[in-house]
Structure 1
Amino acid sequence: MHKAVLLQLGATLLATAIAAVFFGLRGALSAASGGLACVLPSWFFVWRLTAMTRRKGTASVAAFVAGELVKLASIVGLLGLVLVLYPDVHWGALLIGLILALKANLFAFLVKT
């Protein structure tokens, strides 16, 4: 699961670079905000599951589902926080960063460990 989060981070950096070229600093900040709104909750979710597995030996299905629900709520909350703290957000760049970070998980299965 760590490679999925690293791929999300890489996709966020790629989206930030692309947005910086096409939309300038405002777009780069927006793309980074959208991507990090997805990466940070995913990282905490993986960290929590890893800690549970080391402590108990296995993670339960209920813990996984509850953690996924908290992760989704955190993503929505962070996106709301971005809108409050950065009202000059570039919507296209934010969506590019968010979508690339979310879709990076699909490529995690293609990467050999």
Structure 2
Amino acid sequence: MLRIVSLQLLATVVVGLIAALLGGLAAMFSAILGGLCCVVPNAIMAARLFAGTKTPGGANPATFFIWEFVKIALTVALLFATATLYHDLNWLALIAGFIVALKSYIILLFRH
């Protein structure tokens, strides 16, 4: 889980650098914020699920579904907060950062 979250964070930084080269500082911050809207909820869910495996009796399947709902709600809340609070938002960079972070786990699938 840590590998996936760290790969998502690395992909977010790379997209931020590419956005900075193509669109300037506002695009860079937009891309990084878009990636973080995906990385932060995934990191919270991964940490919570990992902590659940350390309890006696192991992980509970209902916990996964509850935290998946929390992850989606947090993602939507972060995207809404980014859209309302960051006034120099570059929507293309935000969506690009979000999608690249969201799909970066595919790199790990093809690596093995």
Please say whether Structure 1 and Structure 2 have the same fold, judged by a TM-score greater than 0.5.
Answer: yes
Gaps of 5+ in 2: none
1:110 Cα offset (Å):
3.6
1:107 Cα offset (Å):
2.1
What is the total number of aligned residue pairs between the two structures?
A: 112
The code of the aligned residue for 2:72 comes to L
For the residues of structure 1 that align with 2:111 and 2:47, how far apart are their CA atoms? Answer: 20
For the residues of structure 2 that align with 1:111 and 1:57, how far apart are their CA atoms? Answer: 33
For the residues of structure 1 that align with 2:31 and 2:71, how far apart are their CA atoms? Answer: 19
For the residues of structure 2 that align with 1:57 and 1:18, how far apart are their CA atoms? Answer: 46
Structural mapping, 1:9-24, within 5 Å: 9-24=9-24
CA RMSD of aligned residues (A): 1.2
The code of the aligned residue for 2:25 comes to L
SS at match of 1:55: coil
SS at match of 2:55: helix
TM-score by length of 2: 0.94
Gaps of 5+ in 1: none
Q: Identity rate of aligned residues, in percent? A: 41
TM-score by length of 1: 0.93
The code of the aligned residue for 2:87 comes to P
The code of the aligned residue for 1:102 comes to L
